[in-house]
């Protein structure tokens, strides 16, 4: 899935059934920063809800990608594993 989304982020929307109303979870979003534009589009056009996790927002900020301003809440968590 990673390589498919890396090649074409719009495939994310193709993988989500029409009318889906649950949460879409994307882990390690910093590895696919271009996917944030597609997430933004899906939030606006299909009213989807996302949980995006990643280990480094700094990597995203440095690349100047869409950080979903006004559409995202940030929560910092402790590691889930040791």
Q: Is residue 51 part of a domain?
A: yes
Q: Is residue 43 part of a domain?
A: yes
- The reply to whether 39 falls in a domain is yes
Q: What percent of the chain has pLDDT over 90?
A: 43
Mean pLDDT is highest, among 12-21, 32-41, 46-55, 73-82, for: 12-21
Whole-structure pTM value: 0.76
Is residue 47 included in any domain, yes or no? yes
Q: Is the pLDDT of residue 65 over 80?
A: no
Q: In whole angstroms, how far apart are CA 19 and each of 11, 35, 47, 50, 70?
A: 17, 21, 10, 15, 24
- Round to whole Å and give the CA distance between 78 and 82: 10
**Residue range(s) defining the domain that contains residue 43:** 2-63
């Amino acid at each position: 899935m990673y390589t498919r989304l890396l090649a074409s982020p719009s495939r994310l929307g193709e993988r989500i059934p029409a009318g889906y109303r649950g949460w879409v979870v994307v882990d390690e979003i910093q590895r696919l920063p271009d996917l944030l534009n597609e997430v933004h589009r899906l939030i606006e056009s299909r009213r989807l809800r996302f949980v995006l996790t990643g280990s480094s927002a700094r990597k995203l900020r440095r690349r100047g990608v869409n950080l979903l301003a006004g559409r995202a809440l940030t929560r910092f968590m402790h590691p889930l594993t040791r």
